[in-house]
Amino acid sequence: MNPADMVARLNRFYQLASDAIFRHDGTLDKLVGDQVMAFFGAPIERENHPRRAVETALEIMREVMDPTAQLGLRVGAGISTGEAFVGNVGGTDVTDYTVLGDTVNVAARLQGEAAAGEVLISDETYASMRNFFPNAGRRTLLLKGKSDSVVAWQIAPMATTA
């Protein structure tokens, strides 16, 4: 694919992903290549931020997988819940409002393990979502940077919490 077509396709993906993030009161952290990073619960704390994150990921997966979108992208999502540093990092001239910590690293690793259209959530996230997804698939993963295996739950892309 030529670069102009790829940029147009990525821009459509970025737009649909950021729209979904904002609809669920998330904070768009960054766009990196074909990845979108967001977090929920800061700078304004909202109720049910794990649920908001999962609903956002499912919405993005449904839209990306919709054949009428013609994105042709194979993306998956990873979500982890827990404590993290939230704030500005950087130097005097450049700062970035972001999240840092093990929770963020686990989410990134889960995203890396997720197949196209798949949403993988951490055990901590699933604990607050269990009633909405009683048939989630349990997976045990060895993630880079973790000495112990991590339990993750696979949520079907067509699932809904409504």
**Across 84-98, average pLDDT:** 95
Is a pLDDT exceeding 80 seen at residue 160?
no
- Please state, rounded to an integer, the average pLDDT across all residues of the chain: 91
d(CA 140, CA 73): 26
What total number of domains does the chain contain?
A: 1
Percentage, residues of the chain above pLDDT 70:
96
Instruction: Evaluate whether 122 touches 106 at the Cβ level (below 8 Å).
Output: yes
Q: What is the pLDDT of residue 159?
A: 47
- Answer yes or no: is 42 within a domain: yes
What's the whole-model pTM score?
0.90
- Answer yes or no: is 39 within a domain: yes
Q: What is the CATH number of the domain that holds 44?
A: 3.30.70.1230
Strand-pair partners of 99: 86
Q: Is-cis flag, bond preceding 50, omega within 30?
A: no
Q: What is the pLDDT of residue 26?
A: 97
The pLDDT tens digits for 33-75 are 888 999 999 998 888 999 999 999 999 999 998 888 778 888 8
- Answer yes or no: is 160 within a domain: no
Domain that holds residue 148: 3-155
pLDDT band at 157 (very low <50, low <70, confident <90, very high): low
